[in-house]
Amino acid sequence: MAKSILGDDPFSTGKSKEGEKKAAERPAPVGKRERERERERERERERERERAQAQAQAQARPAKKKVAKAPTPTKKPEPVTAEPVAPPPPAAEVEAPRAVGEAEATEPAPADDYGPSIDVPPGHGSHLTDELRQGEQSGLGAARVGGLGPQRLGPSFPPPPPAPRRKMPLEFLWRRWREIAMRDRSEVVDEFGRDPHVAARMDPVLEFLYKRWFRVDVEGMGHIPAEGRALLVSNHSGTLPYDGAMIMYAVHRDHAEHRAVRPLVEDFVFHFPYLGTLMNRIGGVRACQENAERLLAQDQLVAVFPEGIKGVGKLFSQRYQLQRFGRGGFVKLALACDAPIIPTAVVGAEEIHPMLSKVTWLAKSVGIPYVPITPTFPLLGPLGLVPLPAKWFIAFGEPMYFNADYGPEAAGDRILVNKLAEQVRQRIQEMVDGLRARRGSVLLG
């Protein structure tokens, strides 16, 4: 992976020829797509050879032209005077990018774009490739393609040519270090900071939690639209925000379209050292109105937890009692952005860290809202941070589309907003109660 980032990139100062040579010497690519392409090219070459032979024969025996033509697969008979040795143009076109050894080179890059991603390792998972490509295009590309072409960008006098390149001191060391440092990250993140490589690396962990540890059962996946915006509103629990990660992973894994859900993360988690950064890299976004509006405007799926910190920090004795739903910001958001609300219930997350008590006086000094006291946590030290393997159920309910009855201006009506928020809360509470009633045992489900 690192090689493709650094091997054939613009950083190779003045060594492009060597790079090309190396690329040519590289062993045959192993990816499935590559192999297919290779085979196709092989077939094409064979056809060329046949055609050339046929033509040569035709020239040698002009009297028996028709007989010689018969086995050639070409539909139009070539003129007899054509040079048999000259390779036909399509073959040359296919051959040319091959020499560079680029996996994606055969696909024509958009004229405004700056070429294919150098980030894509040959034969890597296709959804990751697509995502990287999309990320690359969405930044500058989108603005350029969307009507603001470079020609409209018009300071009439272009900048002077850039300064000549510099030579780095100890360049080989620097280059090596760069390779190491770039190993587990991608050069392109989306505008909210999701790093496809980090997300892909976290997939096995999430898969383990989802399949083996929590054994999540999901129902109502069909309620999530295949495209377009929607707001997933869920109950919140579990001391640490595992529920957001599980909802995100469930939709990514089991939805027919494998859609990405962007969970809105409350401030204290988002600015929590390491945890917040990790949440951000795998797709979490800081919870605020501006971010949510921007995401919905891009027709994404957004997951919100209106209970916020009151929900995630519930005591075990209050489990599955939904707290106040903030100030109804999510309803305002749905009304203003014309997005349906999908009520979501998570059962099982309350039991992974049963919080018996919480200490606030100590926590405030280190910048977190509370230190949880669970049966395992301070007692077993870091081992206490391992969640208990409760059986989880996630249910996605029937979408509630308020904009059918109210316009976007209803977002200013506070009484109405509160009423609708309460309606959603009731709905989720019912779903939670229903799932709990069906659940036999906490650990086995």
Partner 1 sequence: MAVSENGDRRAQGEGQARKSGLLQGPTAQRRALVKRPPAEGRVVAITGAYSYIGAELARRLEADPRVSRVLAVDVRKPAFPASKTRFHKIDLTMPTADSDLSALWKREGVDTVVHAAFLSSPTHNSAWAHELESIGTMHVLNAAGEAAVGKLVLFSTTLVYGAGPSNPNFLDERHELRGHPRARFVKDKVEAERQAERFARENPETVVTVLRVAATLGPTINNFATRFFMRPACPVMMGYDPLMQFVHESDVVDAFQLAVEGDHPGAFNIVGDGVLPYTTVLALLGRIPVPMPSFLAYSVSQALWMTQIFDSPPNFLDFLRFMCIADGAKAAREMGFCARHDIKQTLEDFLGVAPPLSAAERGL
> Which residue, 268 or 392, is less far from partner 1 as judged by CB?
268
Distances 126 to 120, 121, 135 between C-alpha atoms, Å: 10, 10, 14
Give the whole-angstrom CA distance, residue 303 versus residue 1.
Answer: 32
Cβ atoms of residues 332 and 263 within 8 Å: no
Q: Which residues pair with 393 in a beta bridge?
A: 217, 347
CB-based contact 103:3 (threshold 8 Å): no
Q: Which of 27, 62, 108, 161 binds partner 1 (CB under 8 A)?
A: 161
Q: Is 409 in the site for partner 1 (CB under 8 A)?
A: no
The residues in 111-130 that bind partner 1, with binding defined as CB under 8 A, are 114
Q: What CA–CA distance (Å, rounded) separates 156 from 151?
A: 10
Nearer to partner 1, 82 or 368 (CB): 368
Site string for partner 1, 179-218 (x = CB under 8 A): --xx--x-xxx-xxx-x-----------------------
- The answer to whether 322 and 429 have CB atoms below 8 angstroms apart is yes
**By C-alpha distance, which of 118, 113, 126, 146 is closest to 200?**
126
Parallel, antiparallel or unpaired: strands 341-347 and 230-234: parallel
- Least Å distance, CB 269 to partner 1, is 12
- CB of 148: closest distance to partner 1 in angstroms? 5
Residues contacting partner 1: total by CB under 8 A: 57
Pick out residues in 283-302 that bind partner 1 (CB under 8 A).
285-286, 288-291, 294
For position 160 contacting partner 1 by CB under 8 A, the verdict is yes
Contacts of 232 (CB under 8 A, 6+ apart): 224, 247, 261, 301, 302, 303, 304, 342, 344, 396
| By the rule CB under 8 A, 100 interacts with partner 1 | no
CB-count burial class (<10 Å; 0-12, 13-18, 19+) for 210: buried
Nearer to partner 1 among residue 189 and residue 432 (C-beta): 189
For residue 14, the minimal CB distance to partner 1 (Å) is 10
Q: Kindly state the smallest distance separating residue 40's Cβ from partner 1, in Å.
A: 31
Residue ranges in contact with partner 1 by CB under 8 A: 10-11, 13, 114, 139-140, 143-144, 148, 150-163, 165-166, 168, 174-175, 177-178, 181-182, 185, 187-189, 191-193, 195, 267, 270-274, 276-277, 280-281, 285-286, 288-291, 294
